[in-house]
Amino acid sequence: MTNYHAEPLVETGDAETLGDLELAERHALRRVAGLSTELTDITEVEYRQLRLERVVLVGVWTAGTVVDAENSLTELAALAETAGSQVLEGLIQRRSQPDPATFIGRGKVDEVRSVVESTGADTVICDGELSPGQLRALEQQIKVKVIDRTALILDIFAQHAKSKEGKAQVELAQLQYLLPRLRGWGEALSRQTGGSGRGGGAGGGVGLRGPGETKLETDRRRINHRIAKLRRELASMRTIRDTKRATRRRNEVPAVAIAGYTNAGKSSLLNRITGAGVLVEDALFATLDTTTRRATAGDGRVYTLSDTVGFVRHLPHHLVEAFRSTLEEVADSDLVVHVVDGAHPDPDEQVRAVREVLAEVGADKLPELLVVNKVDAADEETLLRLKREWPGALFVSAQSGAGIAELKAAIEARLPRPAVEVAVLVPYDRGDLVTRLHLRGEVQETDHQEEGTFLRVRVNAELAAELAPYLVTESKS
Ligand SMILES: Nc1nc2c(ncn2[C@@H]2O[C@H](COP(=O)(O)OP(=O)(O)OP(=O)(O)O)[C@@H](O)[C@H]2O)c(=O)[nH]1
Ligand SMILES: [Mg+2]
């Protein structure tokens, strides 16, 4: 995927904010440099031309600096490419707020339309969540398909969902997004079928529906049924998940969740630490399903490490809701390893966005280990700044392996410690028990004596009960 380095838009510099701008400047529609997809080889071009949508991106810059505005549009471009589109042009308009009727200023709609015509685009993607009315108004005036950031993210999730649960979660979010937007769609459909009369119509009321019912109402009802069905299915899948989690809890295997912004390198880190072989891609939202792998600490204790769905700014609310059960796995872990891409233009913003979602699912109370990844690709100056900003963070590279040993040690040091310390003498025919003590307990001392293996070990209550027959008094050691 292309790396975007959007050139500064204006000469006035990075610190420029909306308040300083002249009115004329403010209403200008500016082109963001470097925002078109670079296809690297000809086979890619041939392959992609078959299926790519050709898109123009449109953003409204309301607050912050020009760099913030460009980062947001650059991310939208990356999202669009991930969805399989070719980005032709990126445009930003400065406004104090989006136009309630048309998102960008009414006067600018024609300009966008001419850019669409001259580039041959077939889709416009707006950087935000637009109202159904805004989308419809823009479509009518620009004459091509108009979608918003939310629909784009939903589309990527739909393309990437693999598990049954993941697919159901995405479909639920998509239908919930669609439902209030059905009006335009329904109108389009009834136009298509040439239907002018709307049968029982909205004012029809009880008893007048049925044969005269509009297409729109049938669609709406069908979608509501489907939503109810998906909710039921997800609820039962959730029960299975909860049972699994309860088993893990009973065994008191510590759980570590890797969370972070999309493309930060979460899967790469899981692979580095556990050799898991999880898909790694320079694409947004490569991972949607949680993968849990077993990891072994230096002292032989076992814990689980889970890779999770990545976060993004303005993650659609319906998606957070739909993925709640997946995200709650994070909330139920003992430690969150929060991965940040140190080579990203704005790591601070990534951290903010991730913490926002973590708080939404109740995972903000957990111990967090901040890990800045991709130090091999990040520039020195940024790294120095981040080290000052986050003195507790670890700096690693999943790619080169730098800092990984320290990361493992830091994770292990933060695993919850088993509660009870005991001294036992385990007979040699109970080798299985000794093995389990090494996996589940924290062995402090071990000595092969005549009658069996002596161990001083920290264990959970359940293991302690099992060890009762072998307890020895400390004087024996
Ligand atoms: N230079 C560099 N690239 C890295 C490093 N770690 C990961 N990457 C690259 O970053 C991209 C994303 O890596 P992933 O591990 O898929 O990231 P992720 O956080 O799992 O992403 P999603 O699942 O899409 O949210 C891939 O192209 C990796 O090769 C690193 O330490 N250095
Ligand atoms: Mg991943």
Question: What number is the ipTM of this complex?
Answer: 0.98
Residue nearest to atom 30 of ligand 1 (CA): 374
- Same domain for 63 and 189, yes or no, is no
The answer to whether the CB of 312 is under 6 A from ligand 1 is: no
- How many domains are contained in the chain? 4
Any domain includes 289:
yes
User: If you take atom 16 of ligand 1, which residue's CA is the nearest one?
Assistant: 280
281, 386: one domain: yes
pLDDT per 10-residue tile (average), the chain, 477 residues: 38 40 56 63 39 83 85 90 89 90 91 93 92 91 91 85 85 88 49 39 45 69 91 88 74 87 92 76 67 83 86 80 77 93 93 91 91 97 96 96 95 86 92 89 90 91 87 66
Any atom of ligand 1 within 6 Å of the Cβ of 460? no
113: its two tokens? 């339309």
* Ligand 1 contacts CB of residue 441 (under 6 A): no
408 and 466 in a common domain = no
Regarding the beta carbon of 286 and ligand 1, being less than 6 Å apart is answered yes
The reply to whether 201 falls in a domain is no
Please check whether residues 264 and 405 belong to one and the same domain.
yes
Position 66 in a domain? yes
55/43 same-domain check: yes
Q: Which CB contacts under 8 angstroms, 24+ apart, belong to 390-399?
A: 393/340, 394/369, 394/370, 395/342, 395/371, 396/269, 396/371, 396/372, 397/373, 398/265, 398/268, 398/269, 398/271, 398/272, 398/373, 398/374, 399/265, 399/268, 399/374
User: Could you tell me if the CB of 306 is within 6 A of ligand 1?
Assistant: no
Verdict on whether the full-model pTM lies above 0.80:
no
Residue nearest to atom 3 of ligand 1 (CA): 374
Between the CA of 374 and the centroid of ligand 1 the distance, in Å, is 8
Q: Are 295 and 273 in contact (CB under 8 A)?
A: yes
Q: Are residues 121 and 222 in the same domain?
A: no
d(CA 318, CA 154): 9
Give the C-alpha separation, 399 to 265, whole Å: 9
433 and 339 in a common domain: no
- Domain span at residue 187 reads 161-194+211-251
Contact assessment for residue 304 and residue 282, using Cβ atoms and an 8 Å cutoff: no
- Cα of 330 from ligand 1 centre, angstroms: 20
446, β-bridge pairs: 455
Task: Note the pLDDT of residue 178.
Answer: 85
Q: Is 265 in the pocket of ligand 1 (CB under 6 A)?
A: yes
- Both 95 and 119 in a single domain? yes
Separation of CA 281 and ligand 2 centre (Å): 7
- What pLDDT score does 264 carry? 95
CA of 447 to the centre of ligand 2 (A): 43
Does 72 share its domain with 115? yes
- Residue 425 in any domain: the answer is yes
Measured from the CB, is residue 268 less than 6 Å from ligand 1?
A: yes
Residues 311 and 448 in one domain: no
Residues 387 and 375: their CA atoms lie apart, in Å, by 12
Q: Where are the alpha helices (DSSP H) in 50-131?
A: 66-82, 106-119
256 shares a domain with 391: yes
> Is there an atom of ligand 1 within 6 Å of 291 CB?
no
Q: Is the CB of 285 under 6 A from ligand 1?
A: yes
**Res 3: pLDDT:** 41
DSSP character for 99? B
- Cα angle value 347/96/75 (rounded, 5°): 30
How buried is 238 (Cβ within 10 angstroms: 0-12 exposed, 13-18 middle, 19+ buried)?
middle
**Nearest atom of ligand 1 to the alpha carbon of 264:** 19
Same structural domain for residues 144 and 166?
no
82 Cβ closer than 6 Å to some ligand 1 atom: no
Tokens coding 104: 């960008």
How much distance in Å is there from the Cα of 265 to the middle of ligand 1?
3
The ligand minimizing its distance to the Cα of 270 is 1
Contacts of 232 (CB under 8 A, 6+ apart): none
CA distance 269 to 410: 14
| Residue bearing the CA closest to ligand 1, atom 7 | 265
156 lines ligand 1 (CB under 6 A): no
CATH number of the domain within which 294 lies = 3.40.50.300
Regarding the beta carbon of 288 and ligand 1, being less than 6 Å apart is answered no
Residue 221 DSSP SS3: helix
DSSP annotation string for 236-292: HHHHHHHHHHHHHHHHT--EEEEEEBTTSSHHHHHHHHH-------SSTT---S-EE
- Looking at the CA of 273, which ligand is closest? 1
User: In this structure, which ligand is nearest to the CA of 374?
Assistant: 1
Q: Whose CA is nearest to atom 12 of ligand 1?
A: 263
CB-facing half-sphere around the CA of 90: CA atoms within 13 A: 29
How far from chain centre, in Å, is Cα 66? 25
- What does the pLDDT read at residue 164? 87
134 CA from centroid of ligand 1 (Å): 36
User: Does 377 sit in the ligand 1 pocket, CB within 6 Å?
Assistant: yes
| 439: CATH | 3.30.70
